[in-house]
Amino acid sequence: MTEKNHSETKPFDMNELSKIMSEVNKKSRQVVEKFMEKNKQFKEIDQAETKVITDSFQELTAKLMANPTKLFDSQMSYWQDYWGLIQKSTSQLWGLPAKPSDETDTSDKRFRDEAWESNPMFSFIKQSYLLTARAIRNTIHNIHGLDEKTRQRIEFYTNQYLDAISPTNFIMTNPELLKLTIESRGENLLKGLNNLLDDLDRGPCQLQIKMTDLDAFEIGKNLAVTPGKIIFQNDLMQLIQYKPTTDEVFERPLLIIPPWINKYYILDLTEKNSMVKWMTDQGYTVFMISWVNPDETLMNKNLEDYMLEGPVTALEAIERVTSQKSVNVIGYCMGGTLLACTTAYLTSKGEGGRIASNTYMASLLDFSDPGDIGVFIDEKQISAFEKKMNEQGYMDGCAMSNSFSMLRANDLVWSYIINNYMKGVSPVAFDILFWNSDATNLPAKMHSFYLRNMYLKNLLRKPGGIQLNRIPIDLSKITIPVYFISTREDHISRWQSTYYGTRLHSGPVRFVLGASGHVAGIVNPPHKKKYGHWTNEELPESAEEWLNGSKYHETSWWLDWLDWNKTYAGDKIPARIIGEGKNGKLEDAPGCYVTKRLDLPESGVCYMPNALL
């Protein structure tokens, strides 16, 4: 028995341990000093957020104390459930059959290890945590008298707290981590510490958790490789025209407006999942806006600059290249919001015919219910953002990235903390997570305008609520055909909220709901046969009515969009040669704007003049 145990236990590798300790000691002091310096940059924003959280929970406490009977009932219900758990756990400890707990959720990835069920102690720890978390959530949910904004904020930060104290996040209460630590004699923790120090040292962020192998991908080498040329450039964007892959193409070109909060290449990852490549294969002449990753020199660029120097200028450049005045346009996320603004703007100027159809991919036009991201939107927090942005000239991409990660903390924060820092494992290569780690800054003036007028005041939905270039923006003047594609598990643009946008147009509207989330549900190539979609030929008043009357299809929504858009794509003509029009060619795609990374200041340097050659 002794020999067996000895053979199963990993022996000390003193050379390996010494090497790890040497690396840890070398990095520790300078990394901690750098971290403290980074932390000062976010102090104002953190203080504003702390004040908002404190005020919200003080209000919750007041409501609880105002109704002690309800609080007592909640406590009694909790203790009754807990006593039942103790009885079940005692039976399991003595080897007696015990009914599975109602708290068990097979979809909860945190508790996949077999020991969470088979081991009585860990089973009790898990069920105790889940039962307590449910009791806390129910108590908050049943409190009356809280305004909806305060309730949302309290529920959000309560969930953050409950996620943080999960037993899976601690070595002594996680059977998988405990076993690994014993077997490796702590080597996993030393490797994990080394990984933590690497993340603290890397890039401009406070802590940028490494989600993928950052050395496995390079833009232009194995990402964003669809052949094309930069045919136009200004301060805010480069315009890419992609090489045709068919002998004939649709007469009407296709322009894609990605969000400026992320890089465009989410729509042009590897060849097997590139939406751009798929669209060229369907016979489209595809153009893509590639937004610059701004610094302090662009701090005064506003939303109207993004509109005029972005899609409006792109449409002019496309006309020079193709001689086509009318274009089909796709806008993704914030790019869709900008597309709606642009279409209304051109319509008011009598130039509505420049856009033949709109496609909104996971885009909010009515911001009355933005979801969990709304917890960061109020006067105090926006003022703190503005103060910080005005000091440095832009909204730091790190802060934005961290905020979005918090919306899915278990998937995008805690799972990587466990894997990287406790298991000591380096993450595997994954193209979408590489893109997700490629953060971008936002110009101060533009981002302030967007936060206040869209999220805080929700003025876009009101005719004339905002003005761009002195033109009142009225979405009800949009009469062209529009296509909405949203995704059912989207945590950034809730599909029920994007559905509100269908009520703001005056022309024909098609709404389609894809499976999965904000990225995976959009980037859903038909050949993978991974996620389906729902359709409904009617547009009832509410999103719930729409879903109840919808029909599910196992195929990708890309195919539904193709059937819809062909009507507006025009006749087939011989494929266009890039640059054969009045525009020149500046450089090969993907261009230098997209390669600038926040963690590599020397990257993405452009040596070309703006505009055309």
Query: Residue 433 is inside which H or E element, if any?
Result: helix 431-436
Instruction: For 194, list phi and psi in degrees, rounded to 5.
Output: -65, -40
Pairing of strands 509-514, 482-487: parallel
Amino acid identity for residue 312 in this structure:
V
Beta strand pairing call for 286-291 and 254-257 = parallel
Cβ-contact 376, 451 below 8 angstroms: no
Report DSSP letters for 351-381, one per residue.
-GGGEEEEEEES--S--S--GGGGGG-SHHH
User: Distance between CA atoms of 291 and 442, rounded to whole angstroms?
Assistant: 10
**How far out from the chain centre does Cα 180 lie?**
32
Q: Strands 482-487 and 471-472: what pairing?
A: unpaired
Asked if residues 513 and 378 have their Cβ atoms less than 8 Å apart, the reply is no
Determine whether 521 is exposed, middle or buried from the number of CB atoms within 10 Å of its CB (0-12, 13-18, 19+): buried
Catalytic residue check, 333: yes
CA distances from 22 to 12, 33, 355 (A): 16, 18, 61
- What are the start-end ranges of the E strands in 207-291? 228-233, 237-242, 248-250, 254-257, 286-291
Catalytic residue among 205, 333, 398, 592: 333
Respond yes or no on whether the N-terminal peptide bond of residue 590 is cis (omega within 30° of 0).
Answer: yes
Please state, in angstroms and rounded to a whole number, the distance separating the CA atoms of residues 329 and 336. 9
Q: How far apart are CA 220 and CA 519, in angstroms?
A: 21
Burial class (CB in 10 A: 0-12, 13-18, 19+), 65: exposed
Residues annotated as catalytic (active site), given as ranges: 333
